[in-house]
Amino acid sequence: MPSDIIRYFRQETLPHIWCPGCGNGIVLRDFAVALEKLNYPRKEVAIVSGIGCSSRAAGYLDFDTVHTTHGRALPFATGIKMANPELKVFVIMGDGDASSIGGNHLIHACRRNIDLTAIIFNNYIYGMTGGQFSPLTPRNKRATTAPYGMIEQSFDICRLAEAAGATYVGRATTYHNQLLTRLIVEGSKNPGFSLVEAVTHCPTSYGRRNDLKTPTDMVRWQKENAVWIEKIRDGSASLKEEQFAIGVLHRHNAPEFTAEYLEVIKRARK
Amino acid sequence: MAKVDIDKYPKASLDINIRWCKGCNLCVTICPKGILSLDELGKITVDKPEECIGCGLCEGTCPDFAIKVVKDA
């Protein structure tokens, strides 16, 4: 690890407990590189996480971190942001945590457009509890609770966030490292709710059951199925089955919640 | 297609923290020069250090923060 980002880690907790080849470590590293690029004073950063494999990431980072209850990372982060709007709040969630247990909190955080940066580690499965399908498991993929294939439609969490009102939405994979770092940096600078979906890989619970036997196969799958949004927009590529778009998928301007709230306080005091 | 002369790129060496390596094989397969392999304990070793071009792919893809690419001045 580059010596300059190792200072962001609680080094006594390393090596981390994730399985060999788990993509969460790659996302965590990219997040640390993004924090280095943003160069916020340590006292101004708060990192909130939910429950799951991915949410253990907060524990490895040497900042003010909160490991909260399942799906409720965003409400805790909202409270932190409202109490001290100066803080830069990052929220780490897994796909099940964000879209299923905390799905309602996610859409309302998007709707309010509160200045948080949510990083969703999407490994398409509930890895920690043994590989049950999540709302993001694609159709026909197998899980312990779907041994003959998933029959439900899956969420596209980026489109969900866009429709719910998030002002910055992006997606990258563990193969597209530098893009992921860039999205986190831009998302943090965006005044409003930013959602970054990090497509990661779970070789233990997902790949093993879906003909992607090694971490390498899973990263290759990401490389082959990720299509840059710029190519889709200029018509030189289109999405085939299983493929997904990466890049800055959506961006718009809207009033930010904490700023609006401070305005209300001013009006009430007049 | 013009052949790329790798000699004109600055050389680099790999600083490896073997204690953190879990032997997932990602760096071995992503290395464009194929200079890495796993030893009998399943940990990362550099077979041909002189052929490293310092692209940084192994460092970026290592989930366990075990590899650091040091660019030679």
What chain A residue is nearest to B31 in terms of C-alpha separation?
A216
Whether residue B17 has pLDDT greater than 60: yes
The angle that helices A73-83 and A103-112 make with each other, rounded to 10 degrees, is 30
Angle formed at CA A126 by CA A123 and CA A131, multiple of 5 degrees = 105
Is A175 at the interface with chain B, CB within 8 A?
A: yes
Residue B4's pLDDT band (cuts 50, 70, 90): low
The pLDDT of A20-46, averaged and rounded, is 92
pLDDT of residue B71: 79
Query: Who's near A247: CB < 8 A, 6+ residues apart?
Result: A170, A171, A172, A179, A228, A229, A230
Q: Which of A1-15, A38-52, A180-194, A232-246 has the lowest mean pLDDT?
A: A1-15
pLDDT of residue B52: 84
CATH number of the domain bearing residue A177: 3.40.50.970
pTM: 0.92
Nearest to residue A222, comparing CAs of A194, A185, A204, A197?
Answer: A197
Residue B11's pLDDT band (cuts 50, 70, 90): confident
Interface size A-B, in CB pairs within 8 Å, comes to 62
For residue B64, give its domain range: 23-71
pLDDT of residue A266: 94
pLDDT in tens, A92-144: 999 999 999 999 999 999 999 999 999 999 999 998 898 899 999 999 999 99
Residue B50's pLDDT band (cuts 50, 70, 90): confident
The three-class DSSP label of residue A45 is strand
The pLDDT of B8-25, averaged and rounded, is 83
Whether residue B1 has pLDDT greater than 60: no
Is B37 at the interface with chain A, CB within 8 A?
A: no
Whether residue B2 has pLDDT greater than 70: no
* Contact criterion met (CB < 8 Å) for A177 and B19: no
Q: Which of residues A215 and B2 earns the better pLDDT score?
A: A215
Is B64 at the interface with chain A, CB within 8 A?
A: yes
For residue A54, give its domain range: 3-269
In a domain, B15, yes or no: no
In a domain, B30, yes or no: yes
Q: Which of A2-11, A53-62, A205-214, A239-248 has the lowest mean pLDDT?
A: A2-11
The pLDDT of A33-37, averaged and rounded, is 91
Is B65 at the interface with chain A, CB within 8 A?
A: yes
In a domain, B35, yes or no: yes
CATH number of the domain bearing residue B47: 3.30.70.20
Is B68 at the interface with chain A, CB within 8 A?
A: yes
Check if the beta carbon of residue A164 is closer than 8 Å to that of residue A107.
yes
Domain count, chain B: 1
Residue B69: in which H helix or E strand, if any?
A: strand B67-71
Whether residue A160 has pLDDT greater than 60: yes
What chain B residue is nearest to A213 in terms of C-alpha separation?
B24
In a domain, B9, yes or no: no
Tell me the DSSP string of A182-225.
HHHHHHHHSSS-EEEEEE---TTTTGGGTT--SHHHHHHHHHHH
In a domain, B27, yes or no: yes
